[in-house]
Amino acid sequence: MNHTSISFEDEARESWKRMSFFRTESSKLEDGLGYLDNDLKDLEIQRRRLDAQIETLKQQKQAKEQTLRTAHHRTTSAMAEYDRGCTRQFCDKVHARLPRELRDMVYEYLVLPGLFDVLGHWRDPSRSITLPGPELWFERVDGEGVRQPEVARLSVDMIGVEMRTEIAETWYRASTFRFAVHLELVRKFLDTDHWNAELNPYSLVKKVLLSIDATAVRDEWSINDQLRKLCNLESGAHIGIIIYTGTISRGWSKHPTTPDEHLSEFLGILKTCSLTLQQLREHGVRFELLPVQKYRWDTDERSRREILEDTVIYRFTEEILDMSRDEVAELVSISDRLQNRP
């Protein structure tokens, strides 16, 4: 046997050893993979069990939360009903034992009758009286246009029907309702009982305050339609009317409006509303033109400039109240000619 054949046999032995080693290692790996696969199967089974337990716990949690909500609702409803019952018993005693004069004093304290801005949008619940009526808010004003930070709160479902009716009557009769932004709210206000007490505001409202500016001239039908609704108020109702001039922007000019321009605008507004105002007086509704603000703030010069004096306003208003529409139109024409003089 030569050296070459010996080397070949040695290499064959080494190769066989390596192959045996690899087979052994492969068998071990296969066994290990089998164990891992079994472990994975066990883990999957445990995961499914845990998922089922978690789902069961979730359902139990939801059931307990629902039970808690139901119990809370029942408790709250029972307490509210108890409160309503106690309050109504007290209200029934007050209604039965106190004369109407004393009850009215209590009612005035509850609803704080005064000057209310009638608004078509919500501002601040701490300043507004909340009523069940639709789409209107009533914000109490004190003194010189200052809105009070606090308003007495009254939950209308806590009192009896009789007392609610009397409180609503007191509120309608004793309050002044100001329409300073949107006159179109007059109809909505008067056509709806905002206390749900089956009352007719037309027969109860005694004081209304209106602010009218030059938009009345541009929307004559709408303004007069709202004013005509006031003709349905009971005789003796009082309407205050404030006519503002110079409130409509005249382009981009920053020069103050002249007194003649203010006077012409003032007369034009009166001309637009004169027939309806006469109808108000014929129906027994009293009205008066209240003093208008007579100063305009000039942001350029930072100073106050007097535009129109009281004497000018009242000299013309006293005459206009007894004039026909044509006569008022003639006055406006004269004022326009004065305004355009060289």
121 DSSP assignment: S
Calpha distance 121→99 (Å, rounded): 38
Q: Name 211's bridge partners.
A: 242
pLDDT at 292 over 60: no
pLDDT at 153 over 60: no
- Kindly report the average pLDDT of the chain as a whole number: 71
Contact in structure between 218 and 248 (CB atoms under 8 Å): no
Give SS3 for 213. Answer: coil
- Torsion, CA 184, CA 190, CA 195, CA 197, rounded to 10: -150
Give the helix/strand (H/E) hosting 118: strand 115-119
Contact in structure between 305 and 295 (CB atoms under 8 Å): yes
Calpha distance 273→318 (Å, rounded): 15
- pLDDT tens for each residue of 138-149: 666 665 555 554
N-to-C CA span, the chain: 144
pLDDT at 20 over 80: no
| Residue 162: how many other CB atoms lie within 10 Å | 13
- pLDDT tens for each residue of 43-83: 888 888 889 899 999 999 999 999 888 888 888 777 777 77
User: 2-6, 76-80, 292-296, 315-319: which has the highest mean pLDDT?
Assistant: 76-80
Q: Predicted confidence band at 205 (pLDDT cuts at 50, 70, 90)?
A: very high
- Read off the pLDDT of each residue in 246-269 and give the average, rounded to a whole number: 58
Q: Predicted confidence band at 291 (pLDDT cuts at 50, 70, 90)?
A: low
- pLDDT tens for each residue of 213-253: 777 667 788 888 888 888 888 888 888 888 777 655 444 33
